[in-house]
Amino acid sequence: MNRAVRRFRTLPIRSRLALLVAAAVAFGVAAVSVTCWFIVQGKLYDEIDTNLKAQKGPVSYGSVKRAGYNCGRDPKSSDESLHGRSEYYTQVVKADGTVCAFDGSAGTVKVTSSDMAMVKNPSWAGGAPRTGTDSEGNPVRVLIMPLIVTDGPVPVPTPVDNTAVVVAAPLEGTQSTLKDLALLLLLVSGIGVVGAGAAGLAVARAGLSPVDKLTDTVEHVARTEDLSVRIPVEEDSEDEVARLSRSFNSMTSALASSRELQQQLIADAGHELRTPLTSLRTNIELLTRSEETGRPLPPADRKALLASVKAQMTELAALIGDLQTLSRSDAGHPADRVEVVSLQDTVEAALRRARLRGPELTITADLQPWYVRAEPSALERAIVNILDNAVKFSPEGGTIEVALDKGALTVRDHGPGIETDELPHVFDRFWRSPSARALPGSGLGLSIVARTVQQSGGEVSLRRAENGGTVATVRLPGAATPPPDLDPDDAGSQ
Would you report the helix, strand and coil content of the chain in percent, each value rounded to 5?
Answer: 55, 15, 30
Closest CA to 343 of 331, 351, 354, 335: 351
Higher pLDDT, 290 or 76: 290
DSSP string, 379-432: HHHHHHHHHHHHHHHSPTT-EEEEEEETTEEEEE--SS---GGGGGGTTSTT--
- Proportion of the chain above pLDDT 90, given as a percent: 15
Higher pLDDT, 320 or 367: 367
Closest CA to 159 of 52, 56, 30: 56
CA distances from 59 to 62, 165, 444 (A): 8, 9, 119
* Distance of alpha carbon 32 from the chain centroid: 33
Mean pLDDT (whole number) for 237-264 = 78
Q: Which CATH superfamily is domain 332-493 in?
A: Histidine kinase-like ATPase, C-terminal domain (3.30.565.10)
Closest CA to 372 of 333, 332, 341: 341
C-alpha to C-alpha distance for 423 and 471, rounded to whole angstroms: 12
Mean pLDDT (whole number) for 267-272 = 62
- Is residue 101 within 8 Å of residue 91, measured between CB atoms? yes
Instruction: Output the pLDDT for position 494.
Output: 45
404: DSSP letter: E
Higher pLDDT, 9 or 331: 9
Mean pLDDT (whole number) for 452-473 = 86
- Is residue 89 within 8 Å of residue 106, measured between CB atoms? yes
Mean pLDDT (whole number) for 123-140 = 86
**Does domain 240-326 bear CATH number 1.10.287.130?**
yes
DSSP string, 352-385: HHHHHH-TTSEEEEEE---EEEE-HHHHHHHHHH
- Is residue 478 within 8 Å of residue 372, measured between CB atoms? yes
Q: Residue 344 above 80 pLDDT?
A: yes
- Is residue 400 within 8 Å of residue 419, measured between CB atoms? no
475: DSSP letter: E
In the chain, DSSP finds a helix count (H) and a strand count (E) of 11, 13
C-alpha to C-alpha distance for 146 and 115, rounded to whole angstroms: 11
- Is residue 491 within 8 Å of residue 356, measured between CB atoms? no
Going by pLDDT thresholds of 50, 70 and 90, the confidence category of residue 433 is: low
C-alpha to C-alpha distance for 440 and 315, rounded to whole angstroms: 7
Mean pLDDT (whole number) for 119-123 = 79
Going by pLDDT thresholds of 50, 70 and 90, the confidence category of residue 37 is: very high
Burial class (CB in 10 A: 0-12, 13-18, 19+), 478: buried
- Report which residue type is found at 465: A
C-alpha to C-alpha distance for 387 and 351, rounded to whole angstroms: 7
Greatest distance between any 2 Cα atoms in the chain? 164
Radius of gyration of the chain (CA): 52
pTM above 0.75, yes or no: no
pLDDT digits (tens, 9 = 90+) for 229-244: 787 777 777 777 788 8
- Report which residue type is found at 372: V
Higher pLDDT, 330 or 457: 457
- Report which residue type is found at 31: A
Q: Which of 280-289, 364-373, 442-451 has the highest mean pLDDT?
A: 364-373
Q: Domain locations in the chain?
A: 2-45+177-211, 57-170, 240-326, 332-493
- Is residue 237 within 8 Å of residue 50, measured between CB atoms? no
The mean of the pLDDT values for the chain is 79
In sequence order, what are the residues at sequence separation of 6 or more whose Cβ sits closer than 8 angstroms to the Cβ of residue 155?
Answer: none
Four-residue CA torsion sign, 12, 13, 19, 23: positive
Going by pLDDT thresholds of 50, 70 and 90, the confidence category of residue 83 is: very low
pLDDT digits (tens, 9 = 90+) for 134-187: 888 899 999 988 888 776 555 566 677 778 888 999 999 999 999 999 999 999
Mean pLDDT (whole number) for 330-348 = 76
Instruction: Output the pLDDT for position 81.
Output: 43
b/e burial code for range 101-137 (CB count within 10 A of at least 16 → b): bbbbbbbbbbbeeebbebbeeeeeeebebeebebbee
